[in-house]
Amino acid sequence: MEEQLVAITLHRIAGQKVCGVVTLTRQPDRSWSGKCGKCGEEFRVEPDARFEGRVRAMRN
């Protein structure tokens, strides 16, 4: 069974004010999806090697 990867990011409004914490889980197609814990807005990150590199760096 493949390990479930989780990434944490922040929902920022207008590039400055932080709304809430977004927990992203990796989907079978290697994209990421999750919701802002405060406002519930849905997030989706397309498969992105740079983003994935940051996630791996966070785990080390």
Residues lying near Zn ion in the complex (CB under 5 A): 11, 19-20, 36, 38-39, 41
Nearer to Zn ion, 14 or 49 (CB): 14
> CB of 32: closest distance to Zn ion in angstroms?
16
Q: Which is nearer to Zn ion, 20 or 23 (CB)?
A: 20
C-alpha radius of gyration, the chain, whole number:
12
22/55 with CB nearer Zn ion: 22
C-beta atoms surrounding 19 within 10 Å? 14
Residues 11 and 20: beta-carbon distance below 8 Å: yes
Tell me 37's DSSP state: T
